[in-house]
Structure 1
């Protein structure tokens, strides 16, 4: 096949155009820090990037769920501590009320203080977190206290409140309300109050109060165990997030040192292509007339 001047010129222009395109791609990589600026540049990188980014988004969502879990556990811990302090005070007042030297007015004063503690326990049982009742299982929109004077506890939700911390993995962040704000608790405290006013024997109520406080303490310990587990899950998610971020970076981000070296090499190639093209294309008549 006979090679013509037009073929040489066409090939030279095509090669120079490709060189310009490659220079433009490298400059885009350096400007954006990404290997490709659109999916057509590297479909494989784009496809893997979608998968890695989705994985990273899931991890970030799970970490947000953990934040909600921490809020529930810490709020539950605070509420149980407040309730426990109230019951401790009721016990002290009950022992004090059994003193035979107290006058009726003294007993009435103790009974009035216990009434204030009952109201505080009722308010604590109705604690809300982000607009959701904390001590009513999954019935987060319903108050766990059905009525007051005397306090009546509603039927608690049958299921526990859980958060998703991994795919199809859920952690229970609620406490068993029957072990914290049970009907027995309010009946016992109310019985102590009424017994003080009537002069009844309070020993049986003291025994019931100790039982209630013991069950509450066990539930509080269980709460601490769940808190420890959430901390372990948080550490695992943190490690996964670091790995996922690194994989995404390796897949999409350009190596600046390599890109700069390639840019310098491509510039040399481009200049050589321009020089070679100028030599291959034959001079025109105007060049001979100079």
Structure 2
């Protein structure tokens, strides 16, 4: 086969262009920090990279859900803690009202404080996180107690005892609310009966006999009922505490997953700088050698060709 000057020139230019493209590829990898910069560079790596990014996006959403769970659970725990403290104060007032050392004016003041405590407990039952009522089940737009002081019922609203669940991991949901309608209904009923008794004008002995404060035979039903309410509040707080512990465990799991997925994604597509720089230097050396040899093979002018 006859090799012409044109063939030599064409082959040299094609090889030089290939060399330029190779150096450009290495340069792009060094500049971007990625071994691929478009799916066509390596479809398999690109598909894996998209999968890792989906996992990271989902992880980010789960961590945002964890923040929402913390907000709900912390607010619930705080409200129940205040309710428990208030019930302790109610017990002190019950014992105080049953004493004949108090005048009718003193019992009137106790009655007024009981009324305010009752209203405060209703306010705690209507605790909100943002614009959501946390003790109303899935009816987060409606308060547990109405404006007239009566509690919502199933006939008023559905979903009062339903759970609000958020996704905390792939295929894992967690309830972040606490059912409060039964608890606060029992407390409000007790407070209403106590308020009626204190406003009836009864004497300290009559109040003590009615409440069972003066009993010595273990029939102290009012005080026992109040203790039962306090225990119910503590049980709800224990439930909230268990959920808070689980949220922390899930947060640790999500953080570990984020680290692992990020590591896999980096291994899949990040540039190995030492290797790429070496290959870049090698390609540059080959390119310079090609230019030097080509300059000697290819005649640059007609005079050089004639000579």
Shorter-chain TM-score tier: over 0.9
The yes-or-no answer on 1:218 pairing with 2:235 is yes
Alignment of 1:57-206 (within 5 A): 57-149=57-149, 151-155=150-154, 157-178=160-181, 180-181=183-184, 183-198=185-200, 199=202, 200=207, 201-203=210-212, 204-206=221-223
| Per-residue deviation, 1:15 | 0.5
CA distance in 2, matches of 1:6, 1:26: 30
Kept in 2, the 8 Å contact 1:80–1:180? The answer is: no
Partner of 2:146, secondary structure, is strand
Kept in 2, the 8 Å contact 1:147–1:153? The answer is: no
CA distance in 1, matches of 2:293, 2:239: 80
1:133–1:168 distance in 2 versus 1, CA, 3 Å: same
Kept in 2, the 8 Å contact 1:111–1:193? The answer is: yes
Partner of 2:304, secondary structure, is helix
Tell me which of 256, 275, 285 is aligned to 1:268. Answer: 285
Kept in 1, the 8 Å contact 2:111–2:195? The answer is: yes
CA distance in 1, matches of 2:151, 2:75: 23
| Per-residue deviation, 1:148 | 3.3
Match of 1:25 in 2: 25
Match of 1:2 in 2: 2
CA distance in 2, matches of 1:289, 1:226: 92
Q: Which runs of 4+ in 1 moved over 6 A?
A: none
Partner of 2:242, secondary structure, is helix
1:174–1:9 distance in 2 versus 1, CA, 3 Å: same
Match of 1:251 in 2: 268
Structure 2 unpaired stretches of 5+ = 213-220
CA distance in 1, matches of 2:55, 2:78: 35
Aligned residue pair count? 288
CA distance in 2, matches of 1:177, 1:275: 85
Partner of 2:199, secondary structure, is helix
Kept in 2, the 8 Å contact 1:136–1:142? The answer is: yes
72-81 or 22-31, which deviates more = 22-31
TM score, norm. by length of structure 1:
0.94
Kept in 2, the 8 Å contact 1:146–1:154? The answer is: no
250-259 or 16-25, which deviates more = 250-259
